[in-house]
Amino acid sequence: ITMLMTVLGVREEPLRQKPEGSLREPILRIVLLTIIFVVATRVGLWLVNNSATFLAGRGATVATQVAVVGLAGLAAMAGSIFVGVYLGAQVGIGRDARQQRSFVWWVINRLLFLAAVGSIQGFALYYLRDVLLLPDAERWTGILLAVVAVFLVASALGGGYLADRVGRRRLVMLSALVAAAGTLFLLVARDMTLVLVGGSILGAGAGAFMATNWALGTDLVPPQEAGRYLGISNLAGAGAGIVGAGIGGPMADFFNRLEPGLGYLVIFAIYGGLFLMSVLALTRVKVPALAPGGRPA
């Protein structure tokens, strides 16, 4: 429905001339970006698996394994994103990447957030089933995701209004802090009441982020190459799922073998850490004092 509304309601000026050049180079970039994220994720997972195996072989306590392997997992996810985006920028925009550091940090911020929120959604069913031990976890998962969606849409609708008044970068930072707070509720919840509260907070943070982060990105890219830059960021965004679930899934399995349900608490804590790290990444983004059109950045 949304696509149909866009096609019928949005008018854009057609190209006056056919784009020059072949599709060979853009396709090669897509392949290389995919390889970069897959390799970075596999290296991160290898480091996590080896640290887990080492500690288990030394008879380390569960608490020690949670602390060490959990931190290793956080470092692996964040490191995969940092390395993937940095190398991806070199491939996608070449030498210009050095002059577009704010854009690169913006993409890192975006991936850290999306990896966290997308992975929490993906593991929600298993969290409700194995941590809260709900017999009808599938039904409650649907309810939880519906609550998240309601608050996400409401927050997204108000996000643009707030961004024009408090600034886009500030609102993106605030949205990540709100999402981290929602994740904290999921970590301490032992009944669906707190889970739904956490889900509503998480949805509000995600909605504000979705409404504002992309607008912030348009302020950072060269106007004459906006399509190229934002296309690269979109492609890099696909790596969020590879990183979040690709490393988080095996970690959850490892900790669940130590104690049923423990794995989902550990990876949810890591995803909360990714939200906070996205705030740190955004501090490296330098935006114009006024965005195009006179809007505060």
Q: How would DSSP label each residue in 32-63?
A: HHHHHHHHHHHHHHHHHHHHHHHHHHTT--HH
Query: Is residue 214 included in any domain, yes or no?
Result: yes
- Evaluate if residue 290 carries a pLDDT over 60: no
Q: Domain range spanning residue 270?
A: 27-282
For residue 56, pLDDT over 50 is answered with yes
> Could you give the CA distance from residue 175 to residue 274 in angstroms, rounded to a whole number?
13
| Predicted local distance difference test score (pLDDT) of residue 32 | 75
Domain presence at residue 16: no
The CATH number of the domain holding residue 38 is 1.20.1250.20
Spatial separation of the C-alpha atoms in residues 6 and 191, rounded to whole Å: 41
Does residue 119 have a pLDDT over 70?
A: yes
Q: What is the pLDDT of residues 171-189, one digit of tens each?
A: 999 999 999 999 999 999 9
Query: Quick one: which of 130, 133, 132, 115 has its CA closest to 270?
Result: 115
Tell me what pLDDT residue 294 has.
46
Instruction: Give the range among 29-33, 191-195, 289-293 with minimum mean pLDDT.
Output: 289-293
User: Which residues are CB-contacts of 257 (< 8 A; sequence separation ≥ 6)?
Assistant: none
Amino acid identity, position 287: V
CA atoms within 13 A on the CB side of 23: 4
256 pLDDT higher than 80? yes
Pick the closest to residue 263 from 71, 32, 29, 66 (CA basis): 66
CB proximity list for 143: less than 8 A, separation 6 or greater: 196
What is the average pLDDT value for the chain, to the nearest integer?
Answer: 84
- Distinct helix (H) and strand (E) counts, the chain: 10, 0
Residue 13 lies in a domain: no
Residue 108 lies in a domain: yes
Query: Rounded to whole angstroms, how far apart are CA atoms 124 and 213?
Result: 24
221 CB-near residues (< 8 Å, 6+ apart): 100, 103, 229, 230
| 226 falls within a domain | yes
- Copy the structure tokens of residue 191: 């009944």
Is the per-residue pLDDT at 55 higher than 50?
yes
Mean of pLDDT values over 248-263: 91
Q: What is the pLDDT of residue 288?
A: 67
Q: Is residue 33 part of a domain?
A: yes
- pLDDT for 140: 96
**Which tens digits make up the pLDDT trace of 63-116?**
998 999 899 999 988 988 888 888 777 776 767 667 778 888 999 999 999 999
Specify if 287 maps to a domain.
no
Structural domain count, the chain:
1
> Considering the chain, what percentage of its residues have pLDDT values greater than 70?
87
Could you tell me what percent of the chain has a pLDDT over 90?
40
Given a cut of 60, is residue 266 above it in pLDDT? yes
| pLDDT at residue 241 greater than cutoff 80 | no
Is 128 within a domain? yes
Confidence class for position 235, pLDDT limits 50, 70, 90: low
Could you give the angle at the alpha carbon of 258 between the alpha carbons of 187 and 269, nearest 5°?
25
Q: Could you write out the three-class secondary structure of 262-277? A: HHHHHHHHHHHHHHHH
Please report which confidence band the pLDDT of residue 23 belongs to, taking 50, 70 and 90 as the band edges.
Answer: low
Helix axes 62-93, 101-130, angle to 10 degrees: 140
Residue 41, pLDDT > 70, answer: yes
CA-to-CA distance for 273 and 292, rounded, in angstroms? 33
DSSP assignments along 196-227, one per residue:
HHHHHHHHHHHHHHHHHHHHHHHHHS-GGGHH
Span of 40-44, 54-58, 193-197, 221-225 with lowest mean pLDDT: 221-225
